[in-house]
Amino acid sequence: MNRIYSLFIALTFALTPFAFADENHDIIEKVMKEGLKGDDSLMAKVLDKKATAEETKSLNDLVKTLEGTKPARGEQEAYDTKVKALIDALAKVAEGDTSDGALDALDEAQSCKACHSEHKPKKEKKN
């Protein structure tokens, strides 16, 4: 019985990082697909001043789910800095500041390339 229990504990600890990796990936992917990706995304509407207050709040709530996630690669501290900048910039807009300065800060913070170049997993090349 002790061997089975020990094996169960060992497998649990061995597989736990994969569960967290999948959860992080799922959260990040959801934010990208539902909020940031495309010319007709919620983010695009917010930056164009075409989003309703409800849409802006919805995007704000969605982006906040990135807090505490782990990047697929790269330095955690750099990733956390980018996530915080995005959350803070969007919160300012969601609170009603739609000045050019606030929208410029949000546009810079939501830059796909800035995050993808350092933190998105590289695709494996197919032969």
Q: What is the DSSP string of 60-92?
A: HHHHHTTTT---SSS-HHHHHHHHHHHHHHHHH
What's the CA gap between 122 and 107, in Å, rounded?
A: 24
pTM of the entire predicted model? 0.78
In this predicted structure, the answer to whether residue 14 has a pLDDT above a threshold of 50 is no
What is the pLDDT, as a whole number, of residue 2? 58
Whether 90 contacts 98, CB under 8 Å: no
**CATH top class, domain 18-119:** mainly alpha
| Arithmetic mean of pLDDT, 96-116 | 93
Which two tokens mark 53? 């207050």
What's the CA gap between 122 and 127, in Å, rounded?
A: 15
Whether 119 contacts 72, CB under 8 Å: yes
51-84 per-position pLDDT tens digit: 999 999 999 999 999 999 999 999 999 999 999 9
